[in-house]
Amino acid sequence: MGQSKNPRRVADNEAMAVSRMLRTSPQKLNLVAQMIRNKPVDKALTDLTFSKKRIAEDVKKTLQSAIANAENNHGLDVDELIVAEAWVGKNLVMKRGRPRARGRFGKILKPFSQVTIKVRQVGAEEEQA
């Protein structure tokens, strides 16, 4: 009589993690996401560690969470993981403003975004190809 089981959103050799409400624009966050796509996770972690972008620290936490999910929840080998997908989405936008000349109002938009990182286990021979 209970609910039916939800199907998995990822394949058997994949794991993912999502970070929401990151205080940066999706355009800036996408620059960091492009930096790690289709790379082995150890190389991606190194790139994020030494990146000068402020948001790279939050993306690194999300990648570490995806790696931990792969290892603990799905039993995947950490040494064979690559960043299969990393995509960015918009979240809410805080609207603020400043008074301007002649009674007008200057809009200030403070966007939030989210990042989803999916890691996939590949064999050593697939990684080199």
Is 5 inside any structural domain?
no
Task: Give pLDDT, residue 9.
Answer: 83
CATH code for the domain in which residue 117 is found? 3.90.470.10
Characterize 19-53 residue by residue with b for buried, 16 or more Cβ atoms within 10 angstroms of its Cβ, and e for exposed: beebebbbeebbebbebbeeebbeebbebbeebee
Provide the domain count of the chain.
Answer: 1
pTM metric for this prediction: 0.88
Residue 128 has pLDDT above 70, yes or no: no
Q: 5 pLDDT band (50/70/90 cuts)?
A: confident
Helix (H, G, I), strand (E, B) or coil at 86: strand
Give, in order, the Cα–Cα distances in Å from 114 to each of 27, 30, 93, 119, 128.
Answer: 11, 10, 12, 17, 31
For residue 100, give its domain range: 15-121
Say if 51 falls within a structural domain: yes
Q: How buried is 100 (Cβ within 10 angstroms: 0-12 exposed, 13-18 middle, 19+ buried)?
A: exposed
Residue 88 domain-assigned (yes or no): yes
Name the pLDDT band for 48 (thresholds 50, 70, 90). Answer: very high
- 3-state helix/strand/coil string of 12-28: CCEEEEEEEEECCCHHH
Q: Is residue 23 in a domain?
A: yes
pLDDT per residue as tens digits for the range 12-22: 999 999 999 99
Q: Which residue has the higher pLDDT, 127 or 81?
A: 81
Residue 37 in any domain: the answer is yes
Inside any domain, residue 72: yes
Q: What is the tens place of the pLDDT at every residue in 28-44?
A: 999 999 999 999 999 99
Q: Is residue 3 part of a domain?
A: no
* Arithmetic mean of pLDDT, 105-119: 97
At residue 126, the pLDDT reads 62
Q: Is the pLDDT of residue 125 over 80?
A: no
**Average pLDDT over the chain, rounded to an integer:** 93
Indicate whether 108 pLDDT > 60: yes
